[in-house]
Amino acid sequence: MKVFANFPQELPPKPIYHTVAIGVFDGVHRGHQAILAAALAAGDADGVAAITFDPHPRAVLGPPKRARLLSPLGERLELLAARGLGATAVLRFDQQLASMSYVDFVQRLVVDALGARRLVLGYNVSLGHERQGNMERLRALGAELGFEVESVPAVELAGSPVSSTRIRHLLDAGKVEEASELLGRPYWLQGAVVRGSGRGRALGLPTANLRLHAEKLVPANGVYAVRVRLNGHVCLGAMNVGVAPTFVDSGLRSIEVHLMDYTGDLYGAELRVECVARLRDERKFAGADALLAQVREDLAQARNRLRASP
């Protein structure tokens, strides 16, 4: 998949992308996958492109809030590439872009720059300044400029549409299994292993402390059964997200992962930690011995859950 990382300053040499899907695509969940499948349905995947936005439009348009992305840009591009697209254009979202009319947006950036003759959008997508480019107006513009517009219906699971917002709420509650069902894949945390306090090693159960992308949404505090991908291998593991209240509750969250049956040095390694199931809340114990006894129970439970999970 070709990536135009600074679109529209970086443009394809020729406008060869006859079908263009437009959206943030945060998480590339089942709803997004339906949009991309519709874009690819006509064949000739090399002629299909997606437009995604970075930063997320809400970081520019909404009140200030900490970033809570399901898939920061690097992950998002990996997920989009896995769908078989010919290209993805990363559109840098700023106030200037936000003030662009839907007519200019579509004509300049989609039709002229990419060559689109077909736009594929989610059921609730509107384009341009103040979201004025609704489906009716886009279809009228298409009749004028020579492109067609396809609106892809919502994908519903458990009676509600799949959406990035719904997945965020599930992760905030620690419901990683339900979130993974909406994503169509395990929700993962990916990052480099950095040095931590060393308490796990002192207890005989070393943990890898992860440093994540600053915008990545981390699930609710608690203990999780996880699969860990490392250098092409998959390890079973358990992860604690929280503030280590048994020792010192600084209020600073950390992500600590114990890899079962692994004895190598992990410092500096890149881990992808797939969240399979939440085992319990994080809680404070009377001391190190009580914590260690609970952690051993957690590991046994995690191993059982992971072996039972496909």
Strand order in the sheet with 48-54: 2-7, 87-92, 48-54, 19-22, 118-122, 148-152
Cα(187)–Cα(122) distance, integer angstroms: 22
229-253: per-residue pLDDT in tens?
Answer: 998 899 999 999 998 777 766 668 8
Interval 142-170 mean pLDDT: 97
- Report if residue 291 sits inside a domain: yes
Residue 104 shares a structural domain with residue 229: no
- Report if residue 32 sits inside a domain: yes
- Report if residue 174 sits inside a domain: no
- Report if residue 235 sits inside a domain: yes
Task: Reply yes or no on whether the pLDDT at 199 is more than 70.
Answer: no
> Considering 100, 126, 160, which residue would you say is the last residue of a domain?
160
C-alpha distances (whole Å) from 152 to each of 32, 37, 40, 125, 289 are 9, 10, 13, 10, 55
The pLDDT of residue 206: 82
Q: What is the CATH number of the domain that holds 66?
A: 3.40.50.620
Q: Residue 145 belongs to what H/E stretch?
A: helix 135-145
Cα(80)–Cα(94) distance, integer angstroms: 22
Task: Reply yes or no on whether the pLDDT at 202 is more than 70.
Answer: no
Residue 149 shares a structural domain with residue 195: no
- Report if residue 176 sits inside a domain: no
The pLDDT of residue 42: 80
Residue 124: exposure state from Cβ atoms within 10 A (0-12, 13-18, ≥19): middle
Task: Reply yes or no on whether the pLDDT at 197 is more than 80.
Answer: no
The pLDDT of residue 250: 64
Band (pLDDT 50/70/90 cuts) for residue 198 is low
Cα(42)–Cα(59) distance, integer angstroms: 34
Alpha-helical segments (H) within 225-287: none
- Report if residue 167 sits inside a domain: no
91-125: per-residue pLDDT in tens?
Answer: 999 899 999 999 999 999 999 999 999 999 999 99
Q: What percent of the chain has pLDDT over 70?
A: 94
The residue range of the domain holding 300 is 186-308
Task: Reply yes or no on whether the pLDDT at 82 is more than 60.
Answer: yes
Residue 214 shares a structural domain with residue 91: no
Q: What percent of the chain has pLDDT over 90?
A: 76
Answer positive or negative: Cα dihedral of 54, 151, 139, 111.
Answer: positive
Indicate the number of domains in the chain: 2
- Report if residue 171 sits inside a domain: no
The pLDDT of residue 265: 84
List of long-range contacts for 168-173, beta carbons under 8 Å, 24+ apart: 168/68, 168/70, 168/217, 171/70, 171/217, 171/219, 171/220, 172/219, 172/220, 173/220
